[in-house]
Structure 1
Amino acid sequence: MLRNLLILTLFLSLSACSNDEPATEQHKKDSHSEHAQHKDDEHHGNEKKTAHDDDDDHKDDEHHNKKDKDGHAKVGHTEEGGHAEEGGHAEEGGHAEEGGHEEKGVVDLTPEQMKAANIIVTALELTDTRKTIRAPGEIKLNAYKTIKVSPRINAQIIARHAVLGDEVKNGQALITLSSVEMAEAQGQLLLADKEWKRVKKLGKKVVSARRYITAKVEYEKTYANARAFGMSENEIKTLLAQKSSADGSFKLVAQQAGRILHDKFIVGERVEAGYVLMVITDESAMWVEARVTPQVTNLVDIGNNAEIVLGDKKFPAKVIQLHHSLDETTRTSAVRLEVNNDDDLLHAGMFVTAFIEIRNTSKEIQIPEEAVLRSSDGDWQIMVEQDEAGEFKAVEVELKKVSNGMAIIGSKGSNKIGSGTRVVTHGAFFVQSELAKGGFEIHNH
């Protein structure tokens, strides 16, 4: 029995061993197959990933290609902000190009505009211009248009008829005076006039020739005395016509029109003959005494143009006299100028600067003063015509001198001007305004 159990057990063990070996081999085969499958899957997975990446790249390329087709501006904005900035720079470049046009200062005007603005274009040419010297000067009264009012005899001031600063007319009464000497002269004149009228009425046939001549001479003598003492002809006529009493009163009258600049007296004051009571001058023309060296005086001619500068005011003048003696203190000579003073801006005693033309000349370019204008940055400029009629450009110039409405100019920097250059000589302000309009529009794009 036991034997049978052992045999059965051994048999079962052998059976179990037989069954386990194929299973292990199958398991090994399955494991190997699974491992191979896993590797294959990984391989295919990598291929799929690569394919996917390729596909993504392809799509990305398509995406970029599509954007390329849509326009460069999209690419510029998509890739980097820098491209957008470059686009901005490109736009700025466009403005820079327009700005270049503005910098040239070019404006085109139609014939209608030029006619309406009365624009005149003239070719520049070199002309003879006199050189000038600068000298200090002082305003003086025009002695040839100035009078002093004074009595010819000792007298007392009775009344005043004008005051300091008044504008008076020729023959206007200024002062009433009274004098014993004048009273005697008036009395003698009244007697001589009465005798002369009687003798004339009788005639030469009735009176002797001696009496006739004596009466006439006496009348003329007393008349002349009254005039010499200061009575006017009208006063004498009034005295004789009205048979007025010889009170010795008489008036001093203005001998010319002008302004009273001096009246230092008091009513009731007694004054001696020759005492200056008033000074009257015509200030429409004044003198300027300019002090120069003798060497400069030799280069100045009577009639030369000059210019007087007082502050920011300028006045045209003329050389009218040359002094032939030197000042003992300064050792300078005086050049007398005459300047128009209709605006009453110049007065005696003012110190001024005089610019006087001398004999030496040179070739310069002269244009009307109105043709030279200030630019926006403060430089002087003129409007130069370009190749086409009506096309103008602002050109900076050097302003050398302005005198008597004419400006002497020269080239400045690289801006060359010369004989033959066509510039606007009338209406330049209108052209400059049109240039300014163009510049404003450019900056406001």
Structure 2
Amino acid sequence: MNYELAEAVIATFRKKDPSSHYEALSKFNYRAWRGTYRWLDANGLTLYLLERLQVFGIQAAIPEPVLLRLQENAQDNQAKTKQLFDEFMVINRAFRRAGLCYANLKGFTLAPDAFREAGQRLQLDLDFLVDRSHVSRCQQTLERHGYLLTGEGPNVKEFKAGNGQLPILKDLYKPKLQRCVEIHFDDVNDPDGRALQHDRLAKAGIRFWEDLELPILSDSDRFIALAHHLFKHLKSEWTRASWILEYVNFVNFNEENDALWAEVWQCASKSEETKLAIGVATRISQQIFDIRRMPDSLAWTIRQLPQTVSLWLDRYGEKVVFATFPGTKTHLLLHKAIARDGIVRSRETKRPFPLHRPARITVKSQSTSFLVNLRKVLEECRFFLFRLYFHLEQGCYYMIEAARWKRNVAFLQKTDPRQGELQIRNLDT
């Protein structure tokens, strides 16, 4: 991966300066771009970059084979989005017939706030918020449409249908046979979490798609869900840069919507976890991209961030964005910062090295041939070795950073809080 090229790509989303972007991007040859494809694709920036180049009229800044590749990706993604939208409508109709209390999450519901139109975004699955009391009926509905439960957590269930064979990188944007649905349901016993499901579902609005009125979250709940989603991934190994960009786009799109930001402030003031999630999401978004006009409610959440959380963002925020897939283990230090603050109680125990095998990435099927199932087994083995290498490499890196982190936190406590973070930047040099 060429890090200078990655920085030049990120810069195209910060400011409208076509001439400087043309000059910066034109310095890199085809080999540099090829080495950066994986980073672009994994971060969900490939299609957004093409649109940015088209808006600025600087397509000639990149080698012609690279431009042709981006254009082919965009064309394939349009077909893939059409296929996904058809499935989106099928599932919504099935949920309506089953009388489920639910709302559509993320994906198609975020246009045009977070992105102009769905075809320019790489979307891999469909998400729904379902009343916890309706989860069993929801599962039965999905099973009737060929879906199998492939994973679950305290507040989520993952279902897959179709061919479980993983696509190769060059086919990432092409329509695929495998379909994936995530069902989310809030923890109604959590007094300090995000809005309870009955509140979010009761406030849900509607949006027309084709001939149907379909439920989506209110504007404030869509934004808060974006913040929680980004915060959740920052606390994990991998965070897509496109999620940060979409957060920024949502803020910029609604910069004059004072009613929205007033409601966001009310929600954040009632929940420490929501306030922390918004503060972290906004702070890293401002670091990496550009929020044109910072709403007062969002600026307030940044000011409320604990010192150690701000320190983590300063030290590792950019490293998260420029990391190669599947990410890093520096998120473990963010967990330490949150636990040290103690305002938001930790629900997770994070270890540098996991004690369990990775989740399955393919779906077993009795109806497929022996050779197909054998290929799935081989894919599972390759994925296991891939994860093992990641844990060994990043585990060692984490041990080094953990020692630095402990020293930096101790140093921060001994200094003026207003100057400590600036002094820390030079502590390890």
Is the TM value for this pair above 0.5?
no
Alignment TM-score, normalising by the size of structure 2: 0.15
Q: Answer 1 or 2: which has greater strand percent.
A: 1
Q: Which has the larger radius of gyration?
A: 1
Larger RCO (CA under 8 A, 6+ residues apart): 1
